[in-house]
């Protein structure tokens, strides 16, 4: 088992942490937001659903991703994700290249003050 990062309603297990790729397995409780709209200028953020259903914002479109399906946000594409269902959602989240994204999650969960741009996270106001 890898390192587990938690916030209320969310569990993220770090499965792989390389410069080239960071992989998590996420679990979101029902009706929990994962991440609001943002984009990455230099890496792909993808979501492979294992169980439940994940709502993913991709640009101006919102898609419902079901088990066995994959959604990916190319660099520059605004995206976000949430579990809008009544059941738990479990999915693999991959960042390629990694951009230290596991460290970003650690610092966010610790409520540390840091610059998201260091991790290629461009938040929308």
Give the CATH number for residue 52: 2.60.120.10
Supply the pLDDT for residue 29.
Answer: 98
Q: How confident is the model at residue 49 (pLDDT cuts 50, 70, 90)?
A: very high
**Is 120 part of a structural domain of the chain?**
no
Number of domains in the chain: 1
Evaluate whether residue 104 is within a structural domain. yes
Q: What is the pLDDT of residues 67-96, one digit of tens each?
A: 999 999 999 999 999 999 999 999 999 999
Structural domain includes residue 22: yes
Residue 115 included in any domain: no
DSSP conformational letter for 97: S
Under the banding of pLDDT at 50, 70 and 90, the label for residue 33 is very high
pTM, full prediction: 0.95
76 in a structural domain: yes
Range of the domain at 74: 4-110
Query: What letter would DSSP give residue 117?
Result: G
Residue 31 CA to residue 41 CA, distance in Å, equals: 28
Q: With contact defined as beta carbons under 8 Å apart, do 78 and 37 qualify?
A: yes
């Amino acid at each position: 088992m890898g390192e587990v990062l938690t916030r209320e309603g969310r569990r993220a297990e770090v499965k792989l942490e390389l410069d080239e790729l960071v992989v998590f397995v996420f679990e979101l409780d029902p009706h929990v937001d994962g991440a609001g709209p943002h984009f990455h200028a230099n890496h792909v953020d993808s979501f492979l659903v294992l169980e439940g259903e994940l709502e993913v914002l991709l640009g101006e479109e919102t898609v419902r991703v079901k088990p066995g399906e994959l959604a990916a946000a190319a660099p520059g594409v605004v995206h976000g994700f949430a579990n809008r269902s009544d059941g738990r959602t479990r999915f693999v989240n991959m960042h390629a290249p990694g951009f230290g994204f596991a460290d970003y999650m650690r610092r966010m969960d610790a409520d540390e003050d840091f610059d998201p741009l260091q991790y290629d996270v461009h938040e929308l106001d």
